[in-house]
Amino acid sequence: MKDFYRILEVDRKASIDIIEKAYKVLAKKYHPDLQTTQEAKKIAEEKIKTINEAYEILKDEEKRRKYDLQLEREEAKYSQNYSKESTINNSKVRNASPKNTNYATYNNVMNNQNNYNVGPNLTEKEIKKMNKKLQRKMEEEYLKAYGDYLTKNGYKVAFRMNWRKLPYLLLVILILIVIGTILWFVPATHSYLVSMYENNIIIRKLVNVIVSLFHK
């Protein structure tokens, strides 16, 4: 059975937006008209058929749901067959480092936690949290790669604020304000800051602009 997620190079938990962007990148990359040789063109034509097939399923919620169920059954069947033919070295598995689980998805861990003691005994909540963090990182890296690809090919990419990092930015600003306030009331640093303000025109203009913003 074809793994459409692997074909589109996305995670199984990827949003429709990510899937659509991945499809556009791959469709352009393997467009037959962009290939330089006849052989490359034939390979691209086969590749684009597979990409279109994958996108046709994954872009539709109902088709995707049915496909996911079928894919899980196939993997469960394969896992059962594999476990019968393989012998697991339990001592190595028990001593496995938690770092080895960083790239495991929620489904992989849940499906195998009865057979594998992966690092510490992770709870379902911990596994979900780990998978959510991984998914967020993958989406960020994919969007960055997609933006780099567009920029390299001459497209203009608008800046998009990462709102998840806004609380950290506000925290840094607050810390700087607190430090500045403390230094202002220390006699030695107070005199030094006043001297910088009076003798440096750039700092003086910058301070005046900031003060004017608060006075409006």
Alpha-carbon gap, residue 75 to 1, rounded angstroms: 10
Q: Give pLDDT, residue 188.
A: 83
142 with 189, same domain: the answer is no
Regions of the chain where pLDDT drops below 50 = 86-120
5 with 45, same domain: the answer is yes
Cβ atoms of 10 and 18 within 8 Å: the answer is yes
Alpha-carbon gap, residue 27 to 19, rounded angstroms: 12
Give me 212's structure tokens.
Answer: 């004017």
Domain count, the chain: 3
- Domain extent, residue 142, equals 100-159
Q: Give pLDDT, residue 200.
A: 86
Q: Give pLDDT, residue 96.
A: 43
Q: Give pLDDT, residue 49.
A: 93
Q: Give pLDDT, residue 103.
A: 40
151 with 167, same domain: the answer is no
147 with 171, same domain: the answer is no
Rounded to two decimals, the pTM is 0.39
